[in-house]
C-alpha cells in the first residue's frame, strides 16, 4: 500500500534544470482556464462573452493542455530522475487510469442527463435534431464505445485527450531528460506528420476525435519542454522587446480577424490570399495560428507577471489558484456543472439572469470544492501515522 | 452572449437591416440579419422579372404534417417575395432530404441545376454533419466544393446554418461546424443567414418558447414564417447592394 512506502528523501536541487519552488502562476492560470472552459461548456451562455475565444484564435484549452504538460514534466521528470524510469512510468500510467475513471464517471452522469432530456420531449420544430438520441436505442454499443474512448459526446473530449497524452508521456519525458531539443523536435515532427498524413483516431458513431491527439501532443510536449528548463533557455528572448512587440502585433492582428467573423461586412479588408491561407482555423488539429496565439499570450504573461509577483499571494487570486491546484477534480466538476446548468436552463428558464446565475453558482461551487479538497489533504497530512504528502504532487493536478 | 453583443453593437453602429419585417415577433431578430455581400444573379433575375430560388437542405427546412409544406420557410419565402416583388414571377423550390450531409448535398447539385436554373441557392446545412460527427475538415471541403460548383453554374449562394435547438445543445456539438461555415462564407464572400443566432435571440427575448414540449405546430409554423420573412428581407437587401457595390468599385 502507498501508506507503507518509506518516506522519500526531501528533494534537493540535484536536478539543476528542474525548478524546486512551486510556480503559483501555473496554478493561477490553470484555475482561470478551468473557469473559462466551464463557461464555454454551458451552451448559449451570455457570460461566455468574457472568454478568450471571442477575442483571438486560441482559447482556454491551449492554456489547460500547456500547463498540464508543464506540471506533468515537473512532477514526473523529477520522479524519473530520483526513482528511475519504471517507477515514474508506473506513476504516469496510474494517473492516466485515474483520468479514465473520472471520464467514465462523467459519462454516466451525462447519460443520465440526456436520457431524461430525450424522453417526454416532442416539438415539431426539432424532428431532425431529436434524431441524435437514436443511440439511446442501442445503449450496449454506446457504452462499449464510450469505454473504448471512441464515443465522446459533446464537451467530453478533453479528458480522453489527456488520457492519451499521459499514456504516451513516459518515453517522451525519458527523451526530454536526455536531449530536450531532440524531444521537442520529435514532438514537432509528429505534429507535422499528423497534418501531412491526416493522422487521427476514429470516433463513434462516425468521424474522428475532435481533439486530435497527434496534433495536440505538441502543446503538451511544448509545455513539458518548458517545464524542464526550456523556459529558461528561451527566457532571454521571451523577455526581449522584440518578442513583446511581435506578440502584441500578433494579438492585435488576431483580434481584428476575429472581429470580422462577427461583422462579415468588414471581411473584405482581409485580403483574399490571406483568407485562403488562413481559413479554416482548425481546432481539431491545433492550427498553427492557434498555437502562435497561445505563444503570444504566454510571452506577454511571462514578461509582465514575474514568478515572484507579490500579488500572487493576494486573497483575490486565491480562489483561482486553489482551483488550479486540483485541476482534475475541478475539471470534472466543471463538466458536470455545465451539464447541470444546461439541464436547469432547459427545465426552468434560459433567461439572461439564469445564465448569469448558473455561471456564478458554478464557479462558486468549483472554488468551494477546491477549498474542501485542500482541507481534506491538510487533515490527512496531519493525522497521526500517515506519511506526509509527497512534495508538490498536486502540481500535476492531484496525487502524483 | 454573442447574439446579444452583435445586436447591441449593430444598433450602436446603426447597421441593422434596412427593411423591417411586418411581423413584430420576427422583427425582434432584425438586427441579426445583414446583407454582408451582394447577390448579383438575384438582382439580374429581378430585372428580368423571373426569380427562381432553390432551397437545398435537410429536415430542419421542412415541417411535418398535412400543411407542413406550405408552412415551412421555403414556401413562406416565396409568398413574401411574391408580395414584395409584385411584377416578378417568384418561384421557390425546396430540395429537402432529412439527415443529408453537406457532401451528399453537393452530389445533388448537378442534378438540381440540370433541371432548373435558380438565380439563388439557399444552402441549409451543418446539422446532419454535426450529428454524425463528420470530420470538420471534410465538412469544410464539401462547402468549398459546393460553392465552386454553384458559382460555376452562375448561381448566387446563401448559407443557412443550424437551428438553435436548446434541448439538444449539450448533445450536438454544433459550434465547430457553425465556425467552419462562417470561415468558408468569409473566404468566398458568401452570405450567411445565421439561423442559430436568430433563433437563440428569439428564445432569449421570450419571443418564442423553443423549450416547450408540444405537438401543436403553431409555434413551429410561426418560427418558419419569420425565417421566411427575414430571409426575404436579406435577399432583397443584398440584391439592392449590387448597384451600390458596383459604384463603389468603379
> What is the domain partition of chain A in residue ranges?
16-121+131-396
Closest partner CB to A342 (pick from B132, B170, B219): B170
A204's CB contacts (< 8 A; 6+ apart) are A141, A142, A145, A148, A150, A151
Q: Omega into A280 within 30° of 0, i.e. cis? A: yes
- Distance, in angstroms, between A347 CA and closest chain B CA? 8
Per residue, the 3-state secondary structure of A155-167, as one string, reads: CCCHHHHHHHHHH
More confident of the two residues A184 and A307: A184
Q: How many CB pairs under 8 A join A and B?
A: 178
**Does the pLDDT value for residue A399 go beyond 50?**
no
| pLDDT computed for residue A253 by the predictor | 96
* Tens digits of residue pLDDT in A130-146: 888 888 888 888 889 99
- Distance, in angstroms, between A95 CA and closest chain B CA? 28
**Does the pLDDT value for residue A394 go beyond 50?**
yes
More confident of the two residues A372 and B2: A372
Contact A205 B182 (CB under 8 A): no
* Tens digits of residue pLDDT in A263-294: 877 877 888 889 888 888 888 899 999 999 99
* Tens digits of residue pLDDT in A11-34: 443 444 566 667 899 999 999 999
CATH number of B2-249: 3.40.50.1110
Contact B170 A210 (CB under 8 A): no
In angstroms, what CA-CA distances link A64 with A28, A130, A166, B151? 11, 33, 14, 42
Here the cell at position B238 is 443584398
**Does the pLDDT value for residue A161 go beyond 50?**
yes
Contact A267 B64 (CB under 8 A): no
Q: Does B185 touch chain A (CB under 8 A)?
A: yes
Domain map (residue ranges) of chain B = 2-249
- Residues on chain B touching A203 (C-beta within 8 angstroms): 133
Q: Does B63 touch chain A (CB under 8 A)?
A: yes
Distance (Å, whole) CA B2 – CA A384: 54
Closest partner CB to B166 (pick from A114, A207, A350): A350
| pLDDT computed for residue B245 by the predictor | 58
In terms of CA atoms, which chain B residue is nearest residue A274? B187
Interface of B with A in 68-97 (CB under 8 A): none
| pLDDT computed for residue A311 by the predictor | 87
What is the DSSP-derived secondary structure letter of residue B14? T
Any alpha helices (H) in chain A, and if so which ranges? 24-41, 60-83, 85-118, 139-147, 158-167, 169-178, 180-197, 213-225, 231-233, 235-238, 241-262, 272-278, 288-304, 318-325, 327-347, 352-382
Q: In what order do the strands lie in the sheet with B120-124?
A: B89-96, B50-57, B120-124, B156-160, B191-193
Are A145 and A202 in contact by the 8 Å Cβ rule? The answer is: no
More confident of the two residues A69 and A16: A69
What does pLDDT average to over chain A?
Answer: 87
Cα-based angle B153, B158, B159 (whole degrees, multiple of 5): 115
What is the DSSP-derived secondary structure letter of residue B122? E
Per-residue pLDDT 10s for chain B (250 aa) are 445 444 444 444 433 333 334 568 888 888 888 888 999 999 999 999 999 999 999 999 999 888 889 999 999 999 999 999 999 999 999 999 999 999 999 999 988 888 889 999 999 999 999 988 888 888 999 999 999 999 999 999 999 999 999 888 878 888 889 989 999 998 899 999 999 999 988 988 889 988 888 888 999 999 999 999 999 999 999 999 887 655 444 4
Closest partner CB to B213 (pick from A122, A203, A283): A122
* Tens digits of residue pLDDT in A90-149: 999 999 999 999 999 999 988 888 888 787 678 889 988 888 888 888 888 888 999 999
| pLDDT computed for residue A390 by the predictor | 53
Amino acid at each position: 500500500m502507498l501508506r507503507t512506502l518509506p518516506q522519500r528523501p526531501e528533494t534537493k536541487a540535484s536536478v539543476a534544470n528542474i525548478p524546486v519552488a512551486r510556480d503559483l502562476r501555473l496554478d493561477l492560470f490553470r484555475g482561470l482556464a478551468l473557469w473559462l472552459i466551464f463557461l464555454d461548456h454551458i451552451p448559449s451562455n451570455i457570460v461566455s462573452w468574457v472568454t478568450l475565444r471571442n477575442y483571438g484564435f486560441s482559447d482556454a484549452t491551449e492554456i489547460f493542455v500547456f500547463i498540464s504538460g508543464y506540471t506533468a514534466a515537473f512532477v514526473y521528470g523529477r520522479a524519473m530522475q530520483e526513482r528511475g524510469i519504471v517507477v515514474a512510468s508506473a506513476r504516469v500510467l496510474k494517473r492516466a487510469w485515474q483520468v479514465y475513471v473520472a471520464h467514465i464517471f462523467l459519462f454516466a452522469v451525462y447519460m443520465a442527463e440526456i436520457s431524461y432530456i430525450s424522453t417526454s420531449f416532442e416539438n415539431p420544430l426539432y424532428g431532425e435534431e431529436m434524431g441524435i438520441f437514436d443511440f439511446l436505442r442501442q445503449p450496449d454499443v454506446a457504452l462499449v464505445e464510450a469505454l473504448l474512448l471512441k464515443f465522446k459526446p459533446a464537451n467530453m473530449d478533453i479528458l480522453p485527450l489527456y488520457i492519451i497524452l499521459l499514456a504516451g508521456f513516459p518515453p517522451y519525458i525519458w527523451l526530454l531528460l536526455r536531449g530536450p531539443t531532440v524531444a521537442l523536435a520529435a514532438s514537432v515532427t509528429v505534429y507535422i506528420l499528423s497534418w501531412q498524413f491526416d493522422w487521427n483516431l476514429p470516433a463513434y458513431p462516425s468521424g474522428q476525435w475532435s481533439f486530435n491527439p497527434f496534433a495536440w501532443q505538441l502543446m503538451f510536449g511544448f509545455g513539458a519542454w518548458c517545464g524542464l528548463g526550456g523556459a529558461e533557455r528561451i527566457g532571454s528572448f521571451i523577455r526581449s522587446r522584440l518578442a513583446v512587440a511581435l506578440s502584441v502585433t500578433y494579438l492585435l492582428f488576431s483580434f481584428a480577424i476575429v472581429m470580422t467573423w462577427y461583422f462579415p461586412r468588414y471581411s473584405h479588408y482581409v485580403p483574399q490570399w490571406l483568407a485562403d491561407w488562413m481559413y479554416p482555423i482548425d481546432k481539431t488539429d491545433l492550427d498553427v495560428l492557434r498555437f502562435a496565439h497561445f505563444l503570444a499570450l504566454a510571452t506577454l504573461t511571462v514578461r509582465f507577471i514575474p514568478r515572484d509577483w507579490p500579488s500572487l499571494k493576494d486573497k483575490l487570486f486565491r480562489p483561482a489558484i486553489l482551483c488550479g491546484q486540483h485541476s482534475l477534480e475541478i475539471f470534472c466538476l466543471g463538466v458536470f456543472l455545465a451539464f447541470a446548468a444546461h439541464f436547469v436552463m432547459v427545465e426552468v428558464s434560459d433567461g439572461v439572469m439564469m445564465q448569469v446565475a448558473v455561471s456564478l453558482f458554478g464557479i462558486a461551487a468549483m472554488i468551494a470544492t477546491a477549498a474542501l479538497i485542500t482541507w481534506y489533504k491538510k487533515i490527512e497530512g496531519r493525522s497521526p501515522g500517515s506519511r506526509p504528502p509527497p512534495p508538490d504532487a498536486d502540481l500535476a493536478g492531484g496525487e502524483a | 452572449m454573442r447574439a446579444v453583443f452583435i445586436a447591441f453593437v449593430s444598433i450602436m453602429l446603426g447597421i441593422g437591416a434596412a427593411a423591417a419585417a411586418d411581423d413584430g415577433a420576427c422583427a425582434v431578430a432584425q438586427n441579426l440579419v445583414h446583407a454582408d455581400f451582394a447577390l448579383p444573379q438575384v438582382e439580374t433575375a429581378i430585372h428580368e422579372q423571373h426569380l427562381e430560388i432553390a432551397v437545398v437542405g435537410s429536415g430542419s427546412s421542412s415541417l411535418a404534417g398535412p400543411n407542413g409544406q406550405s408552412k415551412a420557410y421555403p414556401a413562406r419565402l416565396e409568398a413574401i417575395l411574391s408580395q414584395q416583388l409584385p411584377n416578378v414571377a417568384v418561384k421557390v423550390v425546396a430540395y429537402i432530404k432529412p439527415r443529408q450531409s453537406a457532401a451528399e448535398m453537393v452530389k445533388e447539385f448537378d442534378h438540381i441545376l440540370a433541371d432548373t436554373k435558380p438565380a439563388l441557392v439557399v444552402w441549409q446545412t451543418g446539422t446532419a454533419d454535426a450529428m454524425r460527427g463528420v470530420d470538420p475538415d471534410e465538412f469544410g471541403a464539401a462547402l468549398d466544393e459546393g460553392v465552386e460548383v454553384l458559382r460555376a453554374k452562375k448561381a448566387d449562394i446563401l448559407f443557412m446554418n443550424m437551428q438553435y435547438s436548446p434541448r439538444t445543445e449539450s448533445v450536438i456539438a454544433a459550434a465547430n461546424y457553425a465556425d467552419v461555415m462562417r470561415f468558408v462564407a468569409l473566404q468566398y464572400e458568401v452570405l450567411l443567414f445565421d439561423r442559430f443566432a436568430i433563433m437563440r435571440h428569439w428564445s432569449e427575448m421570450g419571443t418564442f418558447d423553443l423549450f416547450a414540449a408540444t405537438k401543436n405546430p403553431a409555434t413551429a409554423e410561426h418560427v418558419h414564417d419569420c425565417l421566411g420573412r427575414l430571409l426575404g428581407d436579406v435577399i432583397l437587401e443584398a440584391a439592392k447592394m449590387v448597384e451600390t457595390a458596383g459604384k463603389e468599385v468603379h
